[in-house]
Amino acid sequence: MFDIDLWREIFQSINKNRTRSLLSGFTVAFAILLFAILFGVANGLNNTFAEAFKDDAINNIVIWPGQTTKAYKGLQSGRQIQLKNEDYKFIKEEFGDKVQFITSRVMKNVTASFRNEKGNYTVRAIFPDNLYIEQNKMLEGRYINQLDIDNHTRVVIIGRLVDEKLFSKTKAVGKYLSLSGIQYKVVGVYSDDGGDDEENMLYIPLSTAQSIYGNNDFIDMIYMTYNPNMNYDQALTFGNLITKKLKERLSIAKNDQRAIRVQNNAEGAKAVNLMSFGLGMIIIVIGFGTLIAGIVGISNIMIFIVKERTKEIGIRKALGASPKSIVSIILIESVLITAIAGYVGLLVGVGVLELATPMLADYFIKDPGVSNTLVVGATITLVLAGTIAGYVPAKKASKIKPIIALRND
């Protein structure tokens, strides 16, 4: 199928008509350039949104208690609500597989010291599920596990910044860290995308904290993630259900807004997701509009080219060119110009994005970029576009009657 002479004909035609080829190429290149930039910017905006939710899992629900504001069932208002282990168990058992991960949390402020290094930190006492809820990433060692919970072991997981400050000279894992006078063995170092605060944290087993710091079963908060298979509306309903059940359980008036608080990420996530979706749609519409404008542009130019080459095509036909060979010449030329010009446009677009990245960061556009899939997809689209753009003119060219083309005007 590969016919070197055909390609030679095409390259000669392109080469001998540079202005024409450049002009038609420019339309496509520009369309693709705009397409790439738009796409990159949309990507950047999406990245910004994703970044905003990077700290914790996107399907987070946080429950924390406050004081009652209404008297209920003979209990007066102003009562401090205290969550306990049984509440944690209740949620876990009551809602079953609607709950993806769940952990209770007790928080303490401590002074951590190792050799001569010292610092004030917050300790979070948690269950192993916390790893997934906080989306911590282990840099070294291990996380809190069930064995730690069962045995009330005195182990601590430290954030990356804690490691940098206290263990600048030595490896942290395996060393003993004193937290307000009590020795804990460091078993892991983690990082977190949620910012410096999140990496200045210490994690210890919940059971250890409860036995050491209060010898009770109190918990400060419950963190959980809902089953990601739920859609936003289901998740919102689920959040409300938890609130209702907990209020019943803890004897809180239904309309008491302060005694127990449930913060459901689904609310924000729904809004953000809708916005991302809307943005994506706008980009797609504009992008494809541009692309179509490009295709129409090149189709126009190809029609013009065919008009301009009418005589040449007539001569070729008089010399024995088959309709097929005429179609191939016009079509391949169109595809070639579209593909090359489109690719140039894509490269320039990616280049512009690359250069503009630092400036765009100020406008909430983070890491605008075009993925490889898109590049491949765009290339295929281009070839298709070239075919579509070239087909009508090519067909028209093949129908040219040599007699008309050769008429002496």
Partner 1 sequence: MLKIEEMHKSYPIGNSSLHVLKGINLSVENGEMVAIMGSSGSGKSTLLNIIGMLDEADSGNYILDGLPIKNLTEKKAAVYRNKFLGFIFQSFNLINYKNALENVSLPLYYQGLKRKERQTKGMFFLEKVGLTDWAHHLPSELSGGQKQRVAIARALAANPKLLLADEPTGALDTTTSYEIMEFIQQLNDEGKTILIVTHEEDIADMCKRIVRLKDGIIMEDKFVKQVRVKQNV
Residues making contact with partner 1 (CB under 8 A)? 4-5, 8-9, 12-13, 16-17, 311-312, 314-325, 398, 401-403, 406, 408
Minimum Å distance from CB 314 to partner 1? 8
Q: Contact at 8 Å (CB) between 202 and 124?
A: yes
Residue closest to 101 by CA, chosen among 124, 123, 131: 131
**Kind plus residue range of the DSSP H or E element containing 188:** strand 182-191
Minimum Å distance from CB 399 to partner 1? 8
Minimum Å distance from CB 289 to partner 1? 36
Q: Contact at 8 Å (CB) between 340 and 21?
A: no
Phi, psi of 401, rounded to the nearest 5 degrees: -85, 125
Minimum Å distance from CB 1 to partner 1? 14
Q: Which CB sits closer to partner 1, 24 or 135?
A: 24
Minimum Å distance from CB 26 to partner 1? 21
Structure-token match 């996530």, residue found = 269
Q: Are strands 117-126 and 201-205 parallel, antiparallel or unpaired?
A: parallel
Q: How far apart are CA 154 and CA 189, in angstroms?
A: 15
Structure-token match 């205290």, residue found = 82
Minimum Å distance from CB 311 to partner 1? 7
Q: Which CB sits closer to partner 1, 27 or 398?
A: 398
Instruction: Tell me 408's DSSP state.
Output: -
Residue closest to 332 by CA, chosen among 32, 11, 23, 24: 11
What does R_g of the chain's alpha carbons equal in angstroms? 33
Strand, helix or coil for residue 30: helix
Terminal Cα distance for the chain, rounded: 38
Minimum Å distance from CB 396 to partner 1? 13
Q: What's the Cα-to-Cα distance from 304 to each of 385, 392, 401, 407, rounded to whole Å? A: 17, 12, 17, 19
Contacts of residue 408, Cβ cutoff 8 Å, sequence gap at least 6: none
Minimum Å distance from CB 4 to partner 1? 8
Residue closest to 37 by CA, chosen among 274, 271, 309, 347: 347
Q: Which CB sits closer to partner 1, 291 or 337?
A: 337
